[in-house]
Every structure is written in structure tokens, then in C-alpha cells.
Structure 1
């Protein structure tokens, strides 16, 4: 029997080609999942909403007139957070009895205000209607709650819908999947461009080995088909999915700002930030009037040190006086060396020259008279007499002393330093000069005050101020309230306003010039809503905002119009109503949630 070697070679090459094409086809089946094209008018109908279970797990939040209760399920464990309705504070030592169907169980307190229980029904999917009985001290209530546990869905991956799982019998999956599934999973992660290059290169190499020019071309065609089939398919015109609902996403345990501007803040985070709430109530408050003012020194305890003439400032050997230094009356606080103009210096030099000349002439005359007084002349009685009388000598001596005093005084006034002294005891409030500075006559060198003697100067326009002097207070920038006493008012208008003067009732050190708000209270009462000042924050728009608690874990920003009553309270003009629950502590933390 003879064999044709050329026929055997052709058969072998054809078999290898078929095997190579089969391998490429197998790769295409692994990578490309089956596609279905929708025709015109294709309608999926009403699609069921998809539920995404958050990391925090299923939860419920209910409240009554006494309590707030939040439950969070995690597997078989149910964690409960119990707070008071009116102030959001955790409740310790409470008895929580939960009934779910036929199962009844009492929760155990694991931390202050936090309770937990473990039951099989917590992990079961479905809707669980709960009856919660709460007893805390003298308060007791019965609350109905509903815990919804979604079903766990297994989502198939891309290579789980491979062709062998669709077209081959299920009995063969156990043998084929261990081999083809890893290959399909690996190739599904490869980019289309890399896939094209790999398939084309494999076809080129195989074509060269098998000496067939058509094989690389067919490999390129297969690679292009693989790339085109693996691209997403978009629906054509008329394709309708019906009424599809947006997936519901639960928030879990992460604080976040919701789309409507409200904030979801889980109970564990509220405990960390110490969030506390209060209920708005009406109260009767005196009618008030507000005036703008500032602090000034008491005129009776204020003095200034001024330059008495033009000169250069100097300081005593003790050094430059500093602000806040205590001085006594008569203390030398500075020196003033007079400074003269050229004309004044010329006139002063001329006066000094004339005085010096006259002084020299007088001294010479006095010397001659004193010398002549020693000569004795015999008189009629035979007694020796002086040629010059004693009165003439004394007259010249007096004249000489006067000229000397005038010269010394002129020199001292013109060129000698002058002492500047404190006119009263107190504390140096301002120092307006430095060493060597030239000042003019009347310039204020420094100001001395008593820091504990402070007045308040307020401005009132005609028709604004009334006789609300029974109870007056000053609101300082740090929200400190200081009682003040009305003293007097100006008799004339300054810039179309009159000035009111008040005195601080207590001796307190308040910086002079501090802006204050004078609050004058009348005898009439008015009903108003008062809230703590710390509950009011600035929103993103710059307006005043109060956070209102709408649910145990939901807070809504409410824009308000308010004015301060004192350092701790604000009066609400608009934005809140009675019985609204607002955040009294921790509002600034809520304002930072994004």
C-alpha cells in the first residue's frame, strides 16, 4: 500500500488551520458575551426598582412625644439608639421590649443610651413589623416600627454568561468551567486594542508557519469582529424600557448633605458631636430699644499731658513711659527742649547780647564804686567819710542781680529742657510721641485715665430714643452683658443725632473705644420666641440659619430673622414657629457637613 506524502502534508496543514480557526473562535466565545438586539417598539414594561444595601445595613427611625428610637440591623444583631424627644439627649437605664411576630425580646444596654439584641428574624429578608415598649424612669410609651431587610441578590459577572453555559449541557459545565472561566476572566480585562494586536499577531505567526498568505488576513478579520462585537450596543429609535425607577440608595452611617439641603446625621455621630435640641416656646419679654455706642473714659478721671511750647520731646532717665504704666500726680513723664525759628533765635540772641552788655557795664560800675568807697575823706567833724555812699553801691548790686536773673531766665526759656509732669494719678492710655519728635504748643503728648472708670456714649436719632432708663445694659463684642446707669444727654444735635451718656455700674476694665450695643428695656411686655445665641449660625448665603430637627437623624436648615436680646439669647422675628425643634448645641458642626 502506497502513501502520497503530499496529500498527507496538505491534510496536516488543513487540520492545523482548522484547529487554529477553532482556537480563535473559542477565544471569541470566551470574550464576547451573547448579545440581543432590540427591535423598534421593544418595551421592557415596568422595571422593578433596584435596591442597594448600604454599609450601615437596614435601619428604622421612629419617634413619639417622649422618645426617639433608631434601629440598625447588621446580620442577626439589632442596635438601638434611644434619645429624648425634646432635647435629643441619650436615655440611660431604659427597658426596651421588642415584639416581632411571635418573637419577644428585651434589649440589653451596651453603652449609655445604646442598646442591642440578637435574633434570627433580624437577618431574614422581608418587612418586619415591630412593637416597641419603652420604659425610662417615670416615662413609658409604646411605639410601632417597621424594619425592611432587602433580599440578597447575586449579580452575574461578565464571563458567567459565556457561550458554554448557554449552549452546552449543564453536565459539562463542571469540566469546562475550571479551564475556560479563568481564561475568559483574564481576557475580559484586556483592552480591545491589545486584543486586536494579539489575535492579529497570532494569526500572522501561524500563517508564516503554515505557509498560507490568507491566514493573516482572516485573522485580522476575526480580530476586527471581536473588537466590534465587544463594544457596547446602544438602543435604536423606538426602543422603550417603560417606566424605570431610580435605584434607591440608603445612607448608612455616614453623615451627608442631601439634595434638598438637609443633613442626614446618624445617631452615633450625634453622640460624638453632642448634638442637643430644644423646643421653641413663647415667652414674655420686656420691649427693648437698641442703640449703637462706644466706651469712653470718665471725664472726671481723665487728664492729658501737653506741650506748653514748640520743642523736641525727650524722656527721663527711667525711659519711655509705656501704655498701661501707672503714674502718680507730679511724676515727670517727659521733657521738652524748646526749638526756635531763625528769626526767634536772632531776636533771642540780640536780647541776650544786650543783657550781657548791660550786665558787664553794671559790674564795672559796681567795681568802681566799691573801689571808691574805700577812699576816706575827712569831714568837718574830723571823722573820715567814704567818697561813695553805701546806697549807691546797694542800688547797683540790686540792679546787677536783676540783670543776672533775667539772663538766666532767658537762657532757660530759650534753650533749657522743660519737665512735663502728670497732673493726676492714673494709667497711661495713649503715648502719641517718640523720643526726639518735634511737637507744637498744645499737642497732646500722652493721655492718663482710670481704666476702671468707664462711660458709654450712645447715639440716638430723634424719635428713636424714649425714656427706657429703668433697666439699661451694654452688650460688648464678646457677648458680655454689663449693667449701665443713665447719666445725661446732650442738649444739641450732632450730625442730626443726640448723644446719651451712661456709666458702668461695676468698675471693670474695658478698652476705650470698644463698640457696644446699648439695650434699653421698657416696662411693657411682648410675646416673643427666644433661642440660645449659639443655635444661630451663618449659612452658605450669609444669612442667619437655625437647624431644625425633622426626624431622629434628619436636620433641615431654616433661614430666620433674629436680633440679639443679650449675650446669650436671640429673639426670633420670622422663620420659626412654636413647638419647632431646633439644634441648641452643635449647630456649627451641622453647618460643616457637605
Structure 2
């Protein structure tokens, strides 16, 4: 009986504690919410020469100065600020800005600033204002935001556990006292007193809040964090703080409308200059053999007249028979000429013969011997293959012991500094002025127009261009795109190709630098202009700052 009484009392105690803390699965203590990051108090100013951003961070006034047109950082300058507390000289910082500590950074109010910038021969005065709200002053610094968030969460958990500990501790003490009274004393009155003590301990926990109206205690604490973070704003523009712009190396240029020559795109491939290249071929078939030192490797520079290989022509059976017959005939003629010379020498000594006859016999003998030596040499000596021009070995098919046919190409020699492009035009071009080419990886090549053919090849006319710049990054047979400008002109705004960004919906956009730390996307329509630029015909007005470097990085901000 006593054991069942203790179990029932424990159950009543646990139920009272649980009812005092929650009901119907409701969690009355949600964790603290961390608010979105907001930018530090800041102000902007711009002139024809400079653009600056002033901000307060950790009790320090920080000013970033850039060139207005190009957004290039200005790091070598003298900066003075007229503040409500007097004139303040700013010192250069490691991040490229200028800063100095200020005492009024902790006072919530509006601060009007007059900033004087002296950079070289340019002196400019800009005005701006900083609105320091009370919450910005009370907010923790950026460098300690993570630690402050952890502290706020710890305080919230502690505040939530204090009522729970206050309820459990008395209930636990009452339960222990009741159990001791019940077990130690057997009298009925004492057991009743112990049971009553356990019930009082269970009911001593704080009562639950009324469910009507859902009064779940104090509001959820909100932890605010201050910081300069790049983010995409609800209106579609992108906020990029000046320190982030320095890291991303954002550069801009002023847009201007002008007249430009119309440009056509032509597919082309790289070919060698016919006046600076050549083939090495064999005049007769035979077996190829390497010269002393081996065959030249690909990319080896050779000079005109260098021996690159040898070709030993094979001799057929009938050829060998004819050669042996000629050798025998020459050997007999040489023997007869030698005996005739001996007879003429004897006659010349005795006076019966003349010296002229002896000299003629000696000349005849020398001729026969030369013919015999030439026949032997023709049988043994192979044909040398020499370089027709100076250049580098662009292609080689030479293998020791290989049998080649007559007119087979063994080596191709090309001058890498003299390459051409052969483009195909499917329309009659009235006249070609300047031309450039663009490779698949975006490299630009300078071209010089050489001429166009009159014969149609695959319904197209061949147009030749000489590569004047960038020939070291292309190879023979590589396909490129030629951008040839014609004599007729069109109007538009020229911008670099690096400014174009492909949006998620497939449209082409650019970014306009609308203010010091805000960039606006613009959809544009364009046509190619040359290897490095395009011509915007719609979506952009003159006199706006267009991002020319770092547009893809800005587009990644979310």
C-alpha cells in the first residue's frame, strides 16, 4: 500500500511540473532571432573628379575615395574633414581607405561633413552627412557580432531555465521529505502528512499562463548585427560596399554615342603565309633515312638548305642488270685506254709519236674513270631532302625505314610570325577596312586585309587576311571569327565585351554604376563591333557609367 502511494504521488508531481511548463505541444520559449545584417551609418558624395563614401565603424570615421569615371581607387591623397567637433585629418588605411577615430560616433544625431580631397594637382571639396540612429550606436561592432550573438542566445536560454529550476527545486525537496516521512514512520497520520507534503511540492510549481490570448511570456529576443555586406535589393539593384568593390576590382567607363563602321562576322581558319612556308617532298619513291643527329623534332627552327632526311631509291632487278653491263663496258674501255697511253708514252720517248696524242689518250681515260665513279655513286648515294624556306617544323611524317611514294609530303615548314587567315564570305563585300579576329577563348588578333577571290568555293568567296598581332596564340587549321569593318557607318555606344553578362533568363544584361555603392542591371541589344567591343543599340543611354570589369562577379551577388 505504501509503495503504491509513493508511485501515485510521484506521478502527480511529474504531471504538475509538465502542466506548469507547456500545454498541447506548444513551445513557449523559441530561440532568439538574429536580424538581417544592415550597413553601418554612411553617406555618399560625388563630383566630376571623385566619388566617396563615408561611414562610421567601431568609433572610427572611414572614407573611401574613387575616381568618378573609372571607379579606380584613390589611395594617394590628402583628406581633411570638417566635422561638428572641428577639422580632422584622415590617415591612409591598409584597405585603401582613409580613417581616424572620432568621439562623436557614439552620439545618435545627424553629422554634416565637409571633406577636402587633394590628389596631385586636383583639389575637390565634397559634402555629405551621416545619420547615426540609436540602434546603430547600441549595436555591437562587426568584428564581435558572432560573439555577441552567442552571448544573446546564452542569456535567453538562462532566462528560460531559471523559472524551470525554481519550480523543480522545491518540488524535488518536498518529494524527498514526503518519502522519508512515509517510510520512516508507520503511523497512519504520519503517512498522510507525507503524502500531503508531496502533493504540496507538486503544486508549488508556477502555474501555467492562461491559454486564452496565447500569453506565452516575454517577446522573442532579437539580436541585431551591423555589417557591410553585398546584397541584392528588392528593387533589383545590387548594393556593393566600397571595400568589396576594391576586392572585386570593379571598374567603369562613361558611355558615349558615336558613329562606327558596320562590322560583319566571317568564319575563318588559320593558314600559313604562302611566301613564308613550304613542303619537303621526295622527287622519287624510296626508303627514308635520318640524317646525322636524327630527324628534326616538331617545333625545331631550321634554315633554308638544311638537310632534313635522305631517301634511298630502290633498284629493280632489270636496273641492276643494266648497271652491271655499263660497269663492264666502262671497265673494258678504261683498260684499252690505259694500254693506249702506255704505247703513246713509248712512241713519244722515241720520237715516233707526238705529245698531243698522249694528252688526248690521258683525257679520254680520265673521262671513263669519272663515268665509272658516277655510276657507282648513283647506286650507293641517297637523295637528300632539304628545307626550301626558313621556319619551324610544323608537321612531320618521317619514320626511319618508311617507304614513301614520289611527291609525298615528309615535312611542312612554317614561319610562325607570318600566318594568314582564310575567311569565307557568303555576300559581296563592297570594301573592307580594318579587321580583327577573335578566338574561342576571347583572344583578339590584329589583321591586315590581303585580298578576296573571284571564284566561288562552296557558295562562298575566300578572303585572305594577314595576322599582324597575336600570331603566337594560334595554330594552323584553328577556326576563328573575323570581324571586318565596312565603309558604311552605324550609330551606337561602344562598350567592352567584358561588360556583357548572361542573365538566368537567357537575356544579355550590363550593369550601370548608378551611385557610389549601387549597381543597376540593364537589358541591352547589341551588334559586334570588333574583337574586344560590341555596339549597344538599345537599352543604354550616353553619359552613364558602365561596368567594364567585374560585371560577372556583381551578377553573382544574391
TM-score category, normalised to shorter length: 0.5 to 0.7
The equivalent of 1:43 in structure 2 is none
Please say if 1:530 is aligned against 2:502. no
Distance in 1 between the 2:98 and 2:463 partners? 57
2:456 counterpart SS class: coil
1:150 counterpart SS class: helix
The equivalent of 2:465 in structure 1 is 502
The equivalent of 1:109 in structure 2 is 90
CA contact (8 A) 2:436 2:482 kept: yes
CA contact (8 A) 1:60 1:72 kept: yes
Distance in 2 between the 1:312 and 1:202 partners? 110
CA displacement at 1:531 relative to structure 2: 2.3
The equivalent of 2:454 in structure 1 is 491
Distance in 1 between the 2:458 and 2:203 partners? 89
CA contact (8 A) 1:34 1:162 kept: no
The equivalent of 1:334 in structure 2 is 309
CA displacement at 1:209 relative to structure 2: 5.6
Distance in 2 between the 1:479 and 1:362 partners? 68
CA displacement at 1:494 relative to structure 2: 0.9
1:322 counterpart SS class: coil
1:434 counterpart SS class: coil
The equivalent of 1:437 in structure 2 is 402
Distance in 2 between the 1:266 and 1:287 partners? 39
Change (3 A) 1:466 1:271: same
Distance in 1 between the 2:442 and 2:480 partners? 10
The equivalent of 1:352 in structure 2 is 320
TM-score, normalization: structure 2? Answer: 0.65
Please say if 1:299 is aligned against 2:274. yes
The equivalent of 1:149 in structure 2 is 134
1:493 counterpart SS class: strand
Deviates more, 1:520-529 or 1:315-324: 520-529
CA contact (8 A) 1:288 1:522 kept: yes
CA contact (8 A) 2:82 2:88 kept: yes
Deviates more, 1:297-306 or 1:263-272: 263-272
State which of 42, 52, 59 in structure 2 corresponds to 1:60.
42
CA contact (8 A) 2:13 2:199 kept: no
The equivalent of 2:262 in structure 1 is 287
1:300 counterpart SS class: coil
Change (3 A) 1:114 1:359: closer
State which of 443, 449, 470 in structure 1 corresponds to 2:414.
449
1:492 counterpart SS class: strand
State which of 383, 387, 394 in structure 2 corresponds to 1:418.
383
1:157 counterpart SS class: helix
CA displacement at 1:558 relative to structure 2: 4.2
Change (3 A) 1:434 1:118: same
Distance in 2 between the 1:452 and 1:57 partners? 55
CA displacement at 1:431 relative to structure 2: 1.6
State which of 67, 70, 78 in structure 2 corresponds to 1:93.
78
Change (3 A) 1:205 1:430: farther
Change (3 A) 1:361 1:592: same
Distance in 2 between the 1:296 and 1:354 partners? 47
CA displacement at 1:467 relative to structure 2: 1.0
State which of 502, 511, 514 in structure 2 corresponds to 1:547.
511
Distance in 1 between the 2:233 and 2:21 partners? 40
Q: Encode CA deviations 1:166-217: one digit per residue, 9 max, x unaligned.
A: xxxxxxxxxxxxxxx9x569x89xxxxxxxxx99x989997996699999x9
CA contact (8 A) 1:51 1:150 kept: no
The equivalent of 2:294 in structure 1 is 319
Please say if 1:131 is aligned against 2:112. yes
Change (3 A) 1:52 1:148: farther
Q: Runs of 5+ in structure 2 lacking a partner?
A: 25-32, 140-151, 343-364
Distance in 2 between the 1:550 and 1:138 partners? 24
Number of aligned residues? 490
CA contact (8 A) 1:306 1:443 kept: yes
2:275 counterpart SS class: helix
CA displacement at 1:331 relative to structure 2: 2.9
Distance in 2 between the 1:141 and 1:289 partners? 47
The equivalent of 2:146 in structure 1 is none
Distance in 1 between the 2:427 and 2:524 partners? 30
Please say if 1:468 is aligned against 2:444. no
The equivalent of 1:169 in structure 2 is none
The equivalent of 1:41 in structure 2 is none
Change (3 A) 1:235 1:592: farther
Q: In angstroms, what is the RMSD of aligned CA positions? A: 6.0
Distance in 2 between the 1:110 and 1:351 partners? 96
Q: Encode CA deviations 1:30-86: one digit per residue, 9 max, x unaligned.
A: x9876699xxxxxxxxxxxx99374x7742344455565544444654444444544
Q: Encode CA deviations 1:113-163: one digit per residue, 9 max, x unaligned.
A: 43445244x4355xx344343444554444455333328599973554689
Distance in 2 between the 1:475 and 1:255 partners? 34
Change (3 A) 1:589 1:235: farther
Distance in 2 between the 1:321 and 1:557 partners? 56
Change (3 A) 1:361 1:525: closer
Distance in 1 between the 2:546 and 2:215 partners? 47
State which of 273, 276, 283 in structure 1 corresponds to 2:251.
276
Distance in 2 between the 1:495 and 1:206 partners? 109
CA contact (8 A) 1:57 1:72 kept: no
TM-score, normalization: structure 1? Answer: 0.62
CA displacement at 1:252 relative to structure 2: 1.4
CA contact (8 A) 1:33 1:162 kept: no
CA contact (8 A) 1:429 1:447 kept: yes
Distance in 2 between the 1:509 and 1:117 partners? 54
The equivalent of 2:348 in structure 1 is none
Distance in 1 between the 2:161 and 2:470 partners? 89
CA displacement at 1:219 relative to structure 2: 13
1:299 counterpart SS class: coil
2:245 counterpart SS class: helix
